[in-house]
Amino acid sequence: MPVAAYMSSTTQPIKIDIWSDIACPWCYIGKRKFEAGSGLFAGAGEGRGVEIEYHSFELSPDTPVDFEGNEAEFLARHKGIPEAQAQEMLDRVTGIAASVGLQYDYDNLKHTNTVLAHEAIHFAKAQGKQLEMTERLLSAYFLEGRHVGQVAELAALGAEIGLDPYALTAALESHEYLGAVREDQQTAAEYGINGVPFFVIDGKYGVSGAQEAQTFAQVLEQVWEERAGQPEEVSA
């Protein structure tokens, strides 16, 4: 016969759901700042930790796979602003990225549609390598000038982190994980998420944008302290 037992929920890592796009410069910056913030949080000890899951969000779903032009031209067309203003925006974000150790290379960046990259991340998730694939694709896109809109390139990048390139190619060509991408996007719409990065912490707190590391650490600590005062009932 089941009996009631109580186990402090602080023994479990805090779940972090992150909506992001591979082509979002603030998502990579936000990733680094969150990593720093969660590191500060975990450094306080007593079992503090986080469990991260990424979710798909397309900033520009109408972007062609092979965009003819540079990033400043794309941004100018997308936002309806002069190209010089777009270049100033890119220069600013490049400087902020550098402050967290990321050397963005907009001169060689290949702007592309990211839906296949999201499908590749879901494939990696099924293999237990979602975090590795997300980092690999962000680095490939912003730092290395790799074309993350092409199946062959995505398969090669997947192979670099230990995924089967042939299985990944088959999954991308059949769009096996497109439904999972659309499900993430639907959930984002239900949450009212219209920009990324967006962090949902412990299923109840939303944090928008590339906040400072200390801000993330403070939110995580607040959730941890709230958990400590609310024991979780489980069956035994």
Q: Which of 227, 203, 193, 208 is nearest to 41 (CA)?
A: 227
Q: Which of 113, 185, 119 is nearest to 158 (CA)?
A: 119
C-alpha 13/C-alpha 102 separation (Å) is 28
Per-residue pLDDT at 5 exceeds 80:
no
pLDDT tens for 212-236 read 999 999 999 999 999 887 654 433 3
Give the model's pLDDT for residue 78: 86
pLDDT tens for 177-204 read 999 999 999 999 999 999 999 999 999 9
**For tokens 């402090």, what's the residue?**
8
C-alpha 151/C-alpha 96 separation (Å) is 31
Average pLDDT over residues 29-33: 98
Task: Give the chain's domains with CATH numbers.
Answer: 1-57+193-236 (3.40.30.10)
Half-sphere exposure of 31 (CA within 13 A, CB side): 24
CA 152 to chain centre: 22
C-alpha 193/C-alpha 24 separation (Å) is 15
Average pLDDT value over all residues in the chain: 92
Q: Which residues pair with 207 in a beta bridge?
A: 199
